[in-house]
Amino acid sequence: MKDLSVVIVGGAAGLGALLAEMAVEAGASALGIIDLNMDAAEAALKPARDKGLPAAAAVADIRNGPECHAAFDEISGRIGRVDTLINCAAIYPRRPIMEISDEEWDASNAVNIKGTYHMMVAAVRHMAEQEPKGNVRGRIVNLTSVDAFKAHPQNAHYAATKAAVVSLTRSFAHQVAPDGILVNSVAPAGMATERARQLGFLDELAKASPLGRGAQPAEIAEWVLMTGGPRNSYMTGENVIVSGGYIYA
């Protein structure tokens, strides 16, 4: 991420906060975080501020398009150029396929699809107007999931939204390629997070993986930063599966 300014949506906690920390360690020149929780977002900016880098947080409920655009404009107005946008915000409901309510469908679609869409639109409008670095004006990385590619009757609404984000990624990539903007997604399998421990997923993850364990969050973050960083100057419209052999594609 050397010399790139990075904005992370959903960067206040979990994988998003780890991405913020690792982006700074990898040489990012500025950091922005968009999240619902301002206190946590400010805390996640500490590594950047400790290095004296431009850093800013903005609050947005990404179910609301105008809030997405206002938050992105606020961040870009404070840190200037945005080279990389990482869409990490999502909800992960679990409900058997025959029991999903309209409210649960709407919530999943609003956060996981619509929010991602509006953040990409905001980023593209900004990136298309800035001078390229090399051949690239900007990079967008969307977090998807291996659930987009396999049957998931216990979480079908989440899986469907992640399949939609894969499709959105391809459509945006095709649209903005002439502008020098690269759009890709990264699809992890289960990660050995604190939430996975709380929900009792770790044994399930270990049994499902040929490697015998879920991914450490940093192992996923490395691929996100590679895809959104200067080492990627040509790949666009791709979905990178990082599953430890959970699925092969």
Tell me the catalytic residues: 158
Picking from 10, 59, 8, the residue whose alpha carbon sits closest to that of residue 30 is 8
Residue type, 218: A
CA separation, residue 211 to residues 187, 191, 207, 215, 240 (Å)? 17, 13, 9, 9, 18
Residues 6+ apart with CB under 8 A from 177: 236, 237
DSSP string for 155-192: SHHHHHHHHHHHHHHHHHHHHHGGGTEEEEEEEE--B-
CA separation, residue 42 to residues 1, 11, 140, 164, 215 (Å)? 21, 10, 22, 31, 27
Backbone CA torsion sign across 25, 88, 156, 107: positive
Residue type, 150: K
CA angle 238, 241, 243 (to 5 degrees): 175
